[in-house]
Amino acid sequence: MSIKPARTRVAPSPTGHMHLGTARTALYCYLLAKKTGGQFLLRIEDTDLSRTVPGAEQEIMDGLRWLGLQYDEGPDVGGAYGPYRQTDRREIYQAHAKILVNSGHAYPCFCAPDRLEKVRQEQMKRKENPRYDGTCRNLDPEEAARRVASGENHIVRFKMPQEGSTTAHDHLRGDIVTENKQLNDYVLLKTDGLPTYHLAAMVDDHEMGITHVIRGSEWLGTFPLHVNVVRAFGWDEPIWIHLSVFLKPSGKGKMSKRDTATAMKDGYSIFVKDMGELGFTPEGVLNWCALMGWGVAEDDVMTLDQMVERFSIDSLTPSPAAVNFQKLDHFNATHIRLFTTADLAARLKPYFTREGFNVDDDVLLKIIPLIRERLVTLDDCISFGGFFFKDEVTPAAEDLVAKGLDAKQSAEVARRAYQILAAQPDVSHEKCEPPLRAYVEESGLSANQVFGILRVAVTGQKVSPPLFESMEIIGREKCLQRMQNAIGVLERM
């Protein structure tokens, strides 16, 4: 059976930082488009000028690229269905509003905002859902047209059917039936001549040939309106998919500003722009996002290509997903282990550089096998591997003192270890381990005590990758120098 190529779009509003939810929507849109040989679009929905934040559009484009979700059409790449920024499409919406007015599906409304506010207040007092009271709905169309032509301030409202009910079909949730009398005459065109989402998105999805509208479940409330608008134009409906909401890590309630702040404090974020800085990889983030709303059985570690292969809109789930940052750690660490050595080296280099280390590429390649298994985030490379790029290390004096020994005894161990190392032509495992082990035996100390002093002396830290492999990379000369330095520190204690 051949599948029809899907055209999908992610349509964020540039009103703030790009959120994980947008990343997840974009991912599903991308997967469906690639799976079916179709196209994935970026459309910028910027018709609410008061909420537009400078730089947000660029952040969205950068975020999608960082994730590896390159769109086939969009504001900065063009395409046959552009423009892809809604403020560049005003005339299109105005023309479409006119079509609905002329066909009797919409009408101009001249009501003053302060009167509407009063009506709203009264409705709220009566505990009714605030809705337009219909004053302009029944104006004589010719009279209304004259007032519009004379330049009177107005908006355009959708004339929602008042009888019967609307059945809207969501691919994940089935038929959703709403009594039309519960629906409002929503605004389609505002006084500034710009459309609301309800008009703009419907027009664009049609004009851009979108086959599947994948969006957040916050749009379920106005979903009946949207299908009515599409039907009023006489267009075919796309397949509608409303994704699940994200819940806070505890699973109780939606993520709040406070939860976001807590996440940041713990080294996590819900904004795509922070992810790289925090040491997360696009692969880890995508894998994590993918599974918040997509039920994948068995092996759930997937690259983007594997996701394309396995994706199906039928396995998306409408149940809410708790944002679990431990899972992000898990996927990130897992993907780090899958990268080739050269790839991981290239990804780690900026983190070392950011900390001011002068990175020798040969050394970097050599340390990858030693630190890879220890990394959860890429920036963990600093704590596990920073000492490889230092000229000198400055271990804390108390760390050099082995458990159960005092400074003097530890200095003696360090001196003996130094002599043993200095007597060898290199600091390889084969050469150094046997004589050091022999020393452990004869001294009656434990391996932990001896190797612990050695480790702190040459790496400057108590936790490090395997000692001998590390020493080999550091090199004989530097190791001996660091040992000497440590002996000095211990002797001065």
Cβ atoms of 103 and 232 within 8 Å: the answer is yes
Q: Which region, judged by CB under 6 A, interacts with ligand GLU, from 6-14, 75-83, 312-320, 386-394?
A: 6-14
* Interacting positions 213-252 with ligand GLU (CB under 6 A): 215-216
The residues that bridge with 175 in the sheet, in sequence order, are 169
Residue/partner pairs of 447-455 with CB below 8 Å, 24 or more apart: 448/402, 448/403, 449/402, 449/403, 449/404, 449/405, 449/413, 450/402, 450/413, 450/417, 452/402, 452/403, 453/400, 453/402, 453/410, 453/413, 453/414, 453/417, 453/486, 454/414, 454/417, 454/483
Task: By CB under 6 A, name the one of 11, 69, 286, 489 that touches ligand GLU.
Answer: 11
Cβ atoms of 132 and 184 within 8 Å: the answer is yes
Q: Which region, judged by CB under 6 A, interacts with ligand GLU, from 7-15, 181-189, 304-312, 467-475?
A: 7-15
Give the distance from CA 317 to its chain's centroid.
Answer: 19
Residue 455 within binding range of ligand GLU, rule CB under 6 A: no
For 117, the token pair is 């506010």
Q: Which region, judged by CB under 6 A, interacts with ligand GLU, from 8-16, 319-327, 441-449, 463-471?
A: 8-16
Task: By CB under 6 A, name the one of 8, 12, 427, 486 that touches ligand GLU.
Answer: 12
Q: Map residues 43-62 to x or -, x wherever contact with ligand GLU holds by CB under 6 A.
A: --x-----------------
* Helix extents (H) in 150-271: 197-207, 223-233, 257-265
Least separation in angstroms between CB 157 and ligand GLU:
20
Between 12 and 249, CB nearer to ligand GLU: 12
Least separation in angstroms between CB 9 and ligand GLU:
7
Q: Give the end-to-end CA distance of the chain in Å, rounded to a whole number.
A: 79
Cβ atoms of 397 and 489 within 8 Å: the answer is yes
Known active-site residue 257: yes
For 102, the token pair is 């002329």
Between 44 and 336, CB nearer to ligand GLU: 44
Task: By CB under 6 A, name the one of 6, 7, 13, 302 that touches ligand GLU.
Answer: 13
Total residues at the site for ligand GLU (CB under 6 A)? 7
User: For 274, phi and psi rounded to 5 degrees?
Assistant: -85, -20
Q: Which region, judged by CB under 6 A, interacts with ligand GLU, from 9-17, 121-129, 249-257, 453-461?
A: 9-17
Tell me the one-letter amino acid at 27.
L
Between 212 and 335, CB nearer to ligand GLU: 212
Least separation in angstroms between CB 219 and ligand GLU:
6
Q: Which of 127, 252, 257, 403 is catalytic?
A: 257
Least separation in angstroms between CB 96 and ligand GLU:
16
Tell me the one-letter amino acid at 357.
F
Element (H, E) at 3: none
Residue 211 within binding range of ligand GLU, rule CB under 6 A: no
Least separation in angstroms between CB 19 and ligand GLU:
9
Cα→Cα distances 385→80, 201, 353, Å: 49, 50, 12
Q: Which region, judged by CB under 6 A, interacts with ligand GLU, from 11-19, 31-39, 140-148, 237-245?
A: 11-19
Least separation in angstroms between CB 11 and ligand GLU:
4
Between 38 and 108, CB nearer to ligand GLU: 38
Between 45 and 57, CB nearer to ligand GLU: 45
Between 13 and 410, CB nearer to ligand GLU: 13
Between 161 and 216, CB nearer to ligand GLU: 216
- Alpha-carbon distance of 489 to 393, in angstroms, equals 12
Cβ atoms of 489 and 400 within 8 Å: the answer is yes
Least separation in angstroms between CB 111 and ligand GLU:
26
- Return the residue matching tokens 């040459």: 458
- Alpha-carbon distance of 427 to 425, in angstroms, equals 7
For 267, the token pair is 């080294």
Between 51 and 181, CB nearer to ligand GLU: 51
| DSSP for residue 181 | G
Between 157 and 215, CB nearer to ligand GLU: 215
Name every residue whose Cβ is closer than 8 Å to that of residue 171 and which is 6 or more positions away in sequence: 239, 240, 241, 313, 316
Residue 201 within binding range of ligand GLU, rule CB under 6 A: yes
Question: For binding to ligand GLU (CB under 6 A), which residues are involved?
Answer: 11-13, 45, 201, 215-216
Tell me the catalytic residues.
Answer: 257
